Amino acid sequence: MLVYTAGPYSQTAGVGTVEENIQKATDIAAELWNMGYTVLCPHMNSAGMEKLTTLSNKDFVDRDLEMVERCDAIVMMPNWESSLGAVRELEHARQNDIVVWFWPDIPVGAQKSSKVRKGHRLKVLGTRIGLTR
């Protein structure tokens, strides 16, 4: 089961520094991996990219929403309410019928998801199979 971690990243959220927030997300992601989940942790995926790209915070969040759509569940980390991005991710998950959990209340024993996300269909792209909407 693929899960997405959502919580504060930037210091503008008022909860820790970027580095502290990345570490908190990494610690939670590691626990989720140990619980049997496959984890998509955007904090690690784009760590430091705000310094290396010309993307705005909105650009990052928009791309994060695309990742949320591909997940079976979203895990809301502590202090998620302080992050506008995490609030948008939660709303997006709910709009797309994605399971929402609030850390640390996570079911133990991940089940593999064999379903294709609602609204997507398989499409053959050359020799690769991709999902389209």
Q: Is the pTM of this model over 0.85?
A: no
**Strand 73-76 vs strand 99-102: parallel, antiparallel, or unpaired?**
parallel
**For tokens 């919580």, what's the residue?**
7
Q: What is the pLDDT of residues 56-83, one digit of tens each?
A: 778 878 888 998 999 999 999 999 999 8
**Strand, coil or helix: what is 125?**
strand
Superfamily of domain 2-132: Hypothetical protein PA1492 (3.40.50.10400)
Pairing of strands 128-132, 121-125: antiparallel
pLDDT for 100? 96
Q: In whole numbers, what is the pLDDT of the chain averaged over residues? A: 80
Task: Tell me the pLDDT tens digit for each residue of 11-23.
Answer: 665 677 888 999 9
Distance between the two ends of the chain, CA-based, in angstroms? 21
| Dist. CA 79–CA 65, nearest whole Å | 19
Integer Cα distance of 2 and 113 in angstroms: 8
